[in-house]
Chain A
Amino acid sequence: DSGVTQTPKHLITATGQRVTLRCSPRSGDLSVYWYQQSLDQGLQFLIQYYNGEERAKGNILERFSAQQFPDLHSELNLSSLELGDSALYFCASSVGGSEPTYEQYFGPGTRLTVT
């Protein structure tokens, strides 16, 4: 158990809908990262927040947005969902925000299925 929690574990929704994925980082970690892993694809970095502020942006679509709240939990919002958005979404956390060798601890993931 990494200490990172994600809810829900599974989510099934229809195209065009909007969903929110939630992540709680490990106690003491200030950074939260979001990743997407499609079937047979590698992990794709979406976005990073550090202590409530956006720190780095990866391949995140405009239909997706995220935020980190004062209690450091984070939410990833996916809107106008398409079939291709079906994937595993992972959240990870780390102590620091910009030091490149900080360990990232991954949550168990949320499996999103868009029908």
Chain B
Amino acid sequence: KNQVEQSPQSLIILEGKNCTLQCNYTVSPFSNLRWYKQDTGRGPVSLTIMTFSENTKSNGRYTATLDADTKQSSLHITASQLSDSASYICVVSALDLGAGSYQLTFGKGTKLSVIP
């Protein structure tokens, strides 16, 4: 069964500090991995999409890494801001050969709180 596990479940950091969120997956066959930011009560917003051949991808202060061998990804946030407070969701896409379509498996997210 395809699964995506994220850690930690929640994290509190001081404004200006860096942090790293983890994502482990058992999805197969892997197609791509995405990180989303979701503010409370709002729809997710895409931060990065990485395919099998990409190890690192940045979007401003957000840097995602992917190790397809160990099936791990991380999202590093640099110089955190109060507006970074949100849930960060890891999503892995796999090809469903039987259905002939791509299926997304979502992690439960890491809730990040940035405090002054």
Contacts and interface: CB of A to CB of B under 8 A. Distances in A.
B21 to A, nearest CB: 14
B37 to A, nearest CB: 11
Given A2-B43, A108-B43, A41 B49 contact: no
Contact of A42 (B51, B89, B101, B102): B89
Contacts of B102: 56, 98, 100
B55 interface: no
A42 B99 contact: no
Given A42-B108, A42-B109, A44-B106, A109 B99 contact: no
A109 B42 CA distance: 7
A43 B109 CA distance: 9
Given A45-B106, A48-B101, A56-B103, A101 B49 contact: yes
A88 B41 CA distance: 8
Which of under 10, 10 to 19, 20 to 34, or 35 or more describes the interface residues of B?
20 to 34
Which of under 10, 10 to 19, 20 to 34, or 35 or more describes the interface residues of A?
20 to 34
A56 B101 contact: yes
B51 A101 contact: yes
B99 A43 contact: no
A26 to B, nearest CB: 12
Given A42-B107, A105-B46, 16 more contacts: A2-B45, A42-B89, A43-B106, A44-B106, A45-B106, A58-B104, A88-B41, A100-B31, A100-B95, A100-B102, A101-B32, A101-B51, A103-B46, A106-B44, A109-B42, A109-B43
17 contacts: A40-B108, A41-B108, A42-B106, A42-B108, A43-B89, A43-B91, A43-B106, A45-B103, A56-B102, A58-B104, A98-B101, A100-B93, A100-B95, A101-B51, A104-B46, A108-B42, A111-B41
